[in-house]
């Protein structure tokens, strides 16, 4: 079963914001539970005990629809199994659950936790998973096997081990290599089969024009793929020429972040913390971005999301989204009745390198998603400095960030899950 995502936005009582932030940051500062004893009465979430959670984060966002100074709590996770199983596990590994969620309006206690979460959850409009057939447990086991192999190699034990040592046998030499290839090919065909039904649903919901022009905008810079190069040639689809060779980035980028244009919003109070808080702390990073969607652009953007979601589910190979091999999970969600678009991403490397890779490999996709956002630079993602400033302005710092395998990159995991298995 493909890992599922949960994204929750819950309004926070004004009097509880500071205490909740302090609680979350204390947990985030000790995410692996090594500094505080089990007898510590303070609230804590023992994420390392989970066998189902891949990634999780908490953050506090502005809640502009409820008035100036109002806040809301974001909980975002990727997990295996059902939502009920995930919520039951989350309750079991949390000490002081009410100390966290009681800060939110409408929360009435542990007995109603599951229903409260469901009432405040959002479904993704587009969702990419690097390893659709892997669980947190199977990824962790593949990593552990690689480390055992490395230990055997380092100690020289492989050549001198007794009969009890596991032999490492590749899938392809197990006697079923041909059958395995057939199974994988059939699985790819099965994944791609619903493309037509995806198209029909998108056409019915967004209309031909929105889907056609939205998709054209996504693929305008993807001529490195023969199918997209042919489509671009047939439709004369090209990125428009740049109006200026100069960046629109403001000269003073050290000033406090503020709305870029009238009608724009920043999703956090810039004075509370820096946008890159908890960034580059481990091999992986998190990115949460909230931008304002102009009403006139909503239908076209919905069609763009439908196209991205279908490609990610049906055609993207393991570990790569249009050539980008640093994304573990990413999802886009329309929130607040479509007035805003939220990005939630878990990725490898630095913030700078992540955005540079996107700008190099899928610049037209970035423009299709954010080109119409309020405050986006006139030249879109091709104006890389201005585009980065735009995302920084709309980025939400995470007060808590957890990864089940924090030192592993997507490319490491690609190798690990395809490596020989231990056969005893």
pLDDT tens readout for residues 59-82 = 999 999 999 889 999 999 999 999
Going along 196-301, which residue ranges are E strands?
284-292
Q: Taking residues 294-301, report their average pLDDT.
A: 97
> Tokens at residue 89, please?
């596990």
pLDDT at 166 over 50: no
d(CA 24, CA 349): 24
d(CA 149, CA 158): 9
pLDDT at 424 over 60: no
pLDDT score at 83: 97
pLDDT score at 153: 82
Residue 389 near residue 375, CB atoms below 8 Å: no
Q: Taking residues 214-228, report their average pLDDT.
A: 95
Identify any residues that bridge with 334 across adjacent strands, giving them in sequence order: 341
pLDDT at 197 over 70: yes
> Tokens at residue 117, please?
């979460």
pLDDT score at 180: 67
Q: Looking at residue 296, what DSSP letter applies? A: G
pLDDT at 212 over 50: yes
pLDDT confidence band for 165 (50 / 70 / 90): very low
pLDDT score at 322: 93
pLDDT score at 179: 73
pLDDT score at 14: 95
Q: Which of 31-40, 313-322, 348-357, 409-418 is predicted with the least confidence, judged by mean pLDDT?
A: 31-40
pLDDT score at 159: 56
> Which of 176 and 83 is assigned the larger pLDDT?
83
> Which of 281 and 119 is assigned the larger pLDDT?
119
**Average pLDDT of every residue of the chain:** 90
Q: Taking residues 152-164, report their average pLDDT.
A: 62
Q: How many CA atoms, within 13 angstroms, populate the side-chain half-sphere of residue 340?
A: 21
pLDDT score at 40: 73
Q: Which of 124-133, 165-174, 297-306 is predicted with the least confidence, judged by mean pLDDT?
A: 165-174
pLDDT score at 163: 52
Identify any residues that bridge with 327 across adjacent strands, giving them in sequence order: 347
Query: Nearest-CA neighbor of 422 among 31, 122, 99, 146?
Result: 146
Which positions ≥6 away from 26 have C-beta within 8 Å?
42, 43
Q: Taking residues 138-163, report their average pLDDT.
A: 77
Q: How many CA atoms, within 13 angstroms, populate the side-chain half-sphere of residue 331?
A: 20
pLDDT confidence band for 37 (50 / 70 / 90): low
pLDDT score at 155: 76
Q: Which of 187-196, 325-334, 400-409 is predicted with the least confidence, judged by mean pLDDT?
A: 187-196
pLDDT at 423 over 70: no
Residue 59 near residue 344, CB atoms below 8 Å: no
pLDDT score at 177: 59
Q: Which CATH architecture has domain 194-397?
A: 2-Layer Sandwich (3.30)
Which whole-number Å values give the CA distances from 270 to 106, 275, 317, 320, 360, in the listed order? Answer: 27, 8, 38, 34, 29
φ/ψ of residue 335, rounded to 5: -120, 165
pLDDT score at 388: 95
pLDDT at 269 over 70: yes
d(CA 131, CA 318): 5
């Amino acid at each position: 079963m493909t890992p599922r995502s949960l994204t929750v936005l819950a309004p926070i009582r004004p009097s509880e914001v500071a205490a909740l932030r302090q609680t979350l940051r204390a947990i985030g500062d000790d995410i692996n539970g090594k500094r505080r004893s089990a007898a510590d009465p303070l609230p804590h979430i023992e994420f390392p005990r989970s066998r189902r959670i891949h990634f999780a984060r908490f953050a506090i966002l502005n809640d502009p629809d409820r008035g100036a100074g109002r806040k809301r709590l974001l909980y975002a996770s990727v997990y295996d199994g059902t939502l009920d199983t995930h919520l039951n596990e989350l309750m079991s590994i949390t000490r002081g659950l009410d100390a966290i969620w009681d800060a939110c309006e409408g929360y009435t206690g542990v007995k109603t936790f599951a229903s409260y979460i469901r009432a405040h959850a959002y479904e993704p409009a587009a969702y990419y998973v690097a390893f659709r057939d892997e669980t947190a447990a199977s990824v962790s086991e593949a990593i552990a096997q690689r480390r055992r192999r490395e230990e055997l190699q380092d100690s020289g034990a492989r050549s001198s081990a007794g009969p009890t040592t596991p032999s490492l046998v590749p899938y392809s030499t197990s006697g079923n290599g041909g059958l395995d290839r057939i199974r994988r090919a059939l699985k790819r065909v099965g994944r791609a089969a619903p493309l037509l039904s995806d198209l029909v649903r998108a056409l019915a919901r967004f209309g031909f024009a929105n889907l056609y022009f939205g998709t054209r905008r996504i693929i305008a810079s993807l001529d490195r793929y023969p199918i997209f190069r042919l489509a671009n040639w047939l439709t004369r689809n090209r990125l428009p020429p740049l109006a200026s060779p100069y960046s629109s980035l403001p000269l003073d980028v050290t000033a406090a972040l503020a709305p870029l244009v009238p009608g724009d919003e920043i999703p956090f109070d810039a004075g509370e913390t820096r946008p890159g808080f908890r960034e580059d702390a481990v091999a992986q990073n998190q990115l949460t971005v909230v931008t304002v969607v102009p009403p006139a652009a909503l239908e076209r953007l919905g069609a763009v999301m439908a196209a991205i979601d279908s490609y990610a589910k049906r055609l993207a190979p393991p570990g790569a989204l249009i050539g980008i091999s640093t994304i573990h999970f990413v999802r886009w969600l329309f929130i607040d009745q479509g007035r805003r678009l939220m990005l939630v991403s878990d990725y490898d490397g630095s913030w700078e390198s992540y955005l540079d890779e996107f700008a190099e490999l899928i610049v037209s996709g970035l423009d299709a998603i954010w080109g119409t956002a309020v405050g986006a630079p006139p030249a879109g993602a091709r104006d890389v400095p201005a585009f980065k400033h735009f995302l920084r302005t709309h980025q939400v710092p995470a007060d808590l960030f957890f990864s089940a395998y924090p030192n592993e990159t997507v490319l490491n995991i690609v190798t690990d899950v395809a490596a020989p298995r231990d056969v005893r």
